[in-house]
Amino acid sequence: MCLLVQKIILVMKQKFAFITAILSLAFGLQSNVFGQWIPTNGPAECPVYSFAFSGPNLLAVTNNGTFLSADHGESWKLISDLPIDVSTFGSFGNILFAETSKGIFVSMNNGANWALADSTFRSAQVFTALGSSIFAGTHYDNNSIYLSIDSGRSWKPSCSGMNNINVNALAESNNSLFAGTDKGIFRSDDSGVSWKMVNTATYVDAFGVSGNNIYAGIWGGGGFYRSSDNGDHWVQTNTGLVSRTVGAIHVVGNNIFVGTGRGVFQTTVKDTIFTNRSDSLPFGPHTFALASDGLYLYTGAQLSIGVWRRPLSELITLTPDANIPNPKMSLSTYPNPFSEVVTIKLSFAGQSFAQISIFDPRRSQTFPVFADKLYGGDNYFTWEAHSMPSGMYFCMANVGGYVQQLPIMLVK
Determine the number of helices (DSSP H) and then strands (DSSP E) in the chain: 1, 33
Neighbours of 403 (CB within 10 A): 13
Check residue 280 and give its pLDDT: 81
C-alpha 205/C-alpha 151 separation (Å) is 25
Instruction: Please report, as a single letter, which amino acid is at residue 302.
Output: Q
C-alpha 38/C-alpha 235 separation (Å) is 34
Q: 60 and 307 in contact (C-beta within 8 Å)?
A: yes
Q: Which residues pair with 196 in a beta bridge?
A: 187
Alpha helices in 138-191 (DSSP H): none
152: left (phi over 0), alpha (psi -120 to 50) or beta: left
Phi/psi of residue 97, each to 5°? -115, 145
C-alpha 246/C-alpha 267 separation (Å) is 14
Residue 38's nearest CA partner among 10, 15, 83, 72 is 72
Alpha-carbon torsion (181, 183, 187, 188), positive or negative: negative
Check residue 147 and give its pLDDT: 95
C-alpha 197/C-alpha 184 separation (Å) is 7
C-alpha 252/C-alpha 266 separation (Å) is 11
Q: DSSP states of 194-213 as a string?
A: B-EEEE--S-EEEEEEETTE
Q: 289 and 48 in contact (C-beta within 8 Å)?
A: yes
CATH code matching the domain that covers 330-410, chosen among 2.60.40.10, 3.40.190.10, 1.20.1250.20, 2.40.440.10:
2.60.40.10
User: What string of pLDDT tens digits covers the 412 residues of the chain?
Assistant: 333 333 333 444 444 444 433 333 333 333 333 348 999 998 977 889 899 887 778 999 998 899 999 888 999 999 999 999 998 888 876 789 999 999 999 999 888 899 999 998 889 999 998 888 999 999 999 999 999 998 888 999 999 999 899 999 999 988 999 999 999 999 999 999 999 999 999 999 999 988 789 999 998 889 999 999 999 999 999 999 999 999 999 988 778 999 999 899 999 888 889 999 988 887 566 788 999 877 789 998 877 778 999 988 788 765 554 444 455 788 999 999 999 999 999 998 877 778 888 887 766 677 888 877 788 889 999 999 988 888 889 898 888 767 788 999 999 8
Domain borders along the chain are: 2-314, 330-410
C-alpha 385/C-alpha 236 separation (Å) is 46
Give pTM, 2 decimals.
0.77
Count of alpha carbons within 13 angstroms of residue 139, beta-carbon side: 20
Burial class (CB in 10 A: 0-12, 13-18, 19+), 146: buried
Q: 27 and 40 in contact (C-beta within 8 Å)?
A: no
Check residue 409 and give its pLDDT: 93
Residue 44's nearest CA partner among 77, 11, 89, 87 is 77
Superfamily of domain 2-314: YVTN repeat-like/Quinoprotein amine dehydrogenase (2.130.10.10)
Q: 40 and 79 in contact (C-beta within 8 Å)?
A: no
What single-letter DSSP state applies at residue 389?
P
Check residue 270 and give its pLDDT: 85
C-alpha 291/C-alpha 52 separation (Å) is 7
C-alpha 214/C-alpha 2 separation (Å) is 31
Q: 287 CB contacts (<8 Å, ≥6 apart)?
A: 247, 248, 259, 260, 263, 264, 299, 300, 301
